């Protein structure tokens, strides 16, 4: 019975698809080639940037050279200051995402399965979703002060809506014919959810997870730039006040690298959980 349910939601892979490296995952050579191709543009940009700084074509005050930024990064890293600020930022982002993303998933499931809950909650959720971070942040700080909770709530606000919307839409996009077949097979309600709804809605939920993590990181930047005594955003804000442009770039690069690593982790999770999908790979 369980195998029959899995056949309902998992498309059968066609014969003659790409070779073993595509079927069983990329080989190390494929991954190395992808890394080299992906690194070409940043390397070229950095080389031109450094050359422009060396020949005096770029103002050091306006745009420090990559070597100057790397030196500032090294000094912050060796002093332990960078890791301290980064640890605080990661803790805030994780807590905010846990609260906002968890509630978004919960409300998305509730509204997805209940038309009454949708009529009651979704209009309000959609209005709140349209409020920008910068518009709600002053109110949150006014209510909760400049402490940790104000920052966590700003991050949670960003994390909530992507998971809410994508979970809701993922459940509602499940083909109704699957439920007809499930009734014929006499599936219980819990079995329908576990073996039909969850696998079918999982691509949309994982997309929501990816967007939610991204907006959590954006919310962290907003929260720490508005008011903070520690964190990568504070490091950037303090560098702005002291005109240390290279430190600002260090903070921006840290935000970019960590954001990319988190996004890659979710993409790896998608690859593992959605291996059964027969989708176009380019």
Say which CATH number the domain at 267 has: 1.10.3720.10
How far is the C-alpha of 114 from the C-alpha of 167, rounded, in Å?
A: 13
In a domain, 64, yes or no: no
Task: Spell out the residues 6+ positions from residue 10 whose beta carbon is closer than 8 angstroms to its own.
Answer: 199, 276, 277
Q: For position 23, what pLDDT does the model report?
A: 45
Q: For position 52, what pLDDT does the model report?
A: 79
Percentage of the chain exceeding pLDDT 90: 5
Domain holding 141, by residue range, is: 77-273
Task: Read off the pLDDT band of 16 (50, 70, 90).
Answer: very low
In a domain, 38, yes or no: no
Give 230-256 pLDDT, tens digit per residue.
888 888 888 888 878 888 888 888 888
Residue 216 pLDDT > 80, yes or no?
Answer: yes
In a domain, 132, yes or no: yes
> 280 versus 134: which is more confidently predicted?
134
How far is the C-alpha of 244 from the C-alpha of 263, rounded, in Å?
A: 29
Q: For position 20, what pLDDT does the model report?
A: 43
**3-state secondary structure (DSSP) of residue 42:** helix
In a domain, 25, yes or no: no
How far is the C-alpha of 249 from the C-alpha of 58, rounded, in Å?
A: 15
Residue 172 pLDDT > 50, yes or no?
Answer: yes
> 37 versus 93: which is more confidently predicted?
93
In a domain, 161, yes or no: yes
Residue 149 pLDDT > 90, yes or no?
Answer: no
Distance (Å) of CA 164 to CA 145, 146, 239: 27, 27, 36
Task: Read off the pLDDT band of 32 (50, 70, 90).
Answer: low
Helices (H), 114-231: 115-129, 133-144, 148-172, 176-184, 189-192, 198-226
Neighbours of 204 (CB within 10 A): 21
Q: For position 107, what pLDDT does the model report?
A: 92
Q: For position 98, what pLDDT does the model report?
A: 92
- Give how many domains the chain has, as a whole number: 1
> 144 versus 23: which is more confidently predicted?
144
> 4 versus 51: which is more confidently predicted?
51
**3-state secondary structure (DSSP) of residue 57:** coil
In a domain, 62, yes or no: no
Neighbours of 173 (CB within 10 A): 12
Q: What mean pLDDT do residues 216-229 have?
A: 78
Task: Read off the pLDDT band of 11 (50, 70, 90).
Answer: very low
In a domain, 160, yes or no: yes
For 263, the enclosing helix (H) or strand (E) is: helix 245-273
Distance (Å) of CA 72 to CA 55, 188, 201, 244: 21, 61, 46, 10
In a domain, 177, yes or no: yes
Q: For position 99, what pLDDT does the model report?
A: 93
Q: What mean pLDDT do residues 142-169 have?
A: 86
Task: Read off the pLDDT band of 278 (50, 70, 90).
Answer: low
Task: Read off the pLDDT band of 42 (50, 70, 90).
Answer: confident
Residue 21 pLDDT > 60, yes or no?
Answer: no
């Amino acid at each position: 019975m369980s195998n029959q349910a899995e056949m309902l939601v998992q498309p059968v892979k066609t014969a003659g698809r790409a070779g073993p490296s595509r079927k069983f995952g990329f080989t190390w050579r494929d991954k190395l080639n992808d890394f080299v191709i992906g690194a070409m543009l940043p390397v070229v940009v950095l080389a031109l940037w450094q050359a422009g700084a060396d020949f005096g074509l770029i103002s050091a005050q306006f745009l420090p050279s990559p070597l100057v930024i790397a030196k500032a990064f090294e000094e912050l890293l060796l002093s332990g200051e960078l890791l301290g600020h980064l640890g605080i930022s990661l803790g805030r982002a994780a807590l905010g995402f846990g609260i906002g993303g968890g509630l978004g998933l919960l409300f998305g499931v509730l509204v997805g399965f209940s038309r009454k809950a949708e009529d009651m909650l979704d209009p309000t959720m959609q209005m709140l979703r349209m409020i920008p971070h910068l518009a709600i942040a002053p109110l949150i700080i006014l209510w909760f002060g400049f402490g940790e909770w104000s920052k966590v709530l700003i991050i949670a606000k960003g994390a909530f809506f992507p998971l809410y919307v994508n979970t809701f839409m993922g459940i509602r996009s499940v083909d109704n014919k699957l439920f007809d077949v499930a009734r014929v097979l006499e599936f219980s309600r819990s079995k329908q959810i576990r073996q039909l709804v969850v696998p079918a809605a999982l691509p949309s939920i994982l997309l929501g997870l990816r967007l939610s993590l991204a907006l959590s990181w954006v919310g962290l930047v907003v929260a720490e730039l508005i008011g903070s005594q520690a964190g990568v955003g504070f490091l950037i804000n303090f560098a702005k006040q002291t005109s240390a442009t290279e430190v600002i770039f260090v903070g921006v690069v840290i935000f970019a690298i960590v954001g990319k690593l988190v996004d890659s982790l979710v993409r790896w999770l998608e690859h593992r959980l959605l291996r059964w999908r027969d989708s176009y790979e380019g």
